[in-house]
Amino acid sequence: MHGLAFSAALIEWMLDSDPSLRWRVERDLVGAPPETWEVTRARVNTEGFGARLLALQDDDGQWAGGAYFPGGFDFTGPEAAADAGQPYTATTWALVDLREFGVDAAALRGTAERLAANSRWEYEDLPYWGGEVDCCINAFTLANGVWLGADVSSIAQRFVEHRLADGGWNCEWVEGSIRSSFHSTLNSLKALLYFETATGGTDELRAARHAGEEYLLERRLMYRLSSGGPIRRHRSRSSAR
């Protein structure tokens, strides 16, 4: 058992679940050997949530007909209102889920190439594997691209170029924000570490990652540097800017 103690009943309840959750419980909470949790993880491709989401992929490689938003999303209608929430059905979100479910990237063979050919960001029609301007979107895409074997080195470089003076990142830098966001910085750091682990990274990217980590540590992970009070809950916006 790692970290927190869990009751036997709670462990049994979590084990009686979809393979996408069960293998992580086996590995991270039960401490089962690889020959146990790897067998469960292999089932994600063909059973439960993983199999269902794989089956929803469009012929062009996308999900729901769009890169970050579903195809046909009305950016001027009520579905784009600030309080409407993000529709988590399009390509980027599907790939994040499949990767975190533990799906073997081999099940998506050819997807990186199809997305390069067919998928464009809703922001200025930019090519999918070239990245966007939003660092959170780029974070998801950087990790997804590494997982699928796409060349995402240009996206990785964006994190060096768009890091703010205080050490972190903010998805609204393109709108003039000069202060980093906890949420944006956490997403960026996770992606940079994923990229570094898979590729070895570069000294420049490591320096950027370390600066982002210091930004969070200086604020004790949850407090404002200015007042010492806790940060407010982040609310993502449903817009294409």
What pTM was estimated for this model as a whole?
0.90
Determine the number of helices (DSSP H) and then strands (DSSP E) in the chain: 10, 0
Distance, in Å, from the CA atom of 156 to the CA atom of 210, rounded to the nearest integer, reads: 15
Asked if residue 136 lies in contact with residue 187, where contact means CB atoms within 8 angstroms, the answer is yes
Share of the chain above pLDDT 90, in %: 85
Asked if residue 222 lies in contact with residue 230, where contact means CB atoms within 8 angstroms, the answer is yes
pLDDT (tens digit, 9 = 90+) per residue, 129-150?
Answer: 999 999 999 999 999 999 999 9
Is residue 35 predicted with pLDDT exceeding 70? Answer: yes
Contacts 24+ apart (CB under 8 A), 170-175: 170/135, 171/134, 171/135, 171/136, 171/137, 173/133, 173/135, 174/133, 174/134, 174/241, 175/241
Q: Mean per-residue pLDDT for 44-58?
A: 98
Angle between helices 182-199 and 203-218 (to 10 degrees): 150
Token readout for 185 is: 């910085």
pLDDT band at 234 (very low <50, low <70, confident <90, very high): low
Is residue 158 predicted with pLDDT exceeding 80? Answer: yes
Q: Mean per-residue pLDDT for 81-108?
A: 94
pLDDT: which is higher, 227 or 67: 67
The pLDDT of residue 237 is: 43
Distance, in Å, from the CA atom of 170 to the CA atom of 195, rounded to the nearest integer, reads: 19
Q: Mean per-residue pLDDT for 122-132?
A: 97
φ and ψ at residue 95, rounded to 5 degrees:
-65, -40
Provide the CA 102 distance to its chain's centre, in angstroms. Answer: 13
Share of the chain above pLDDT 70, in %: 94
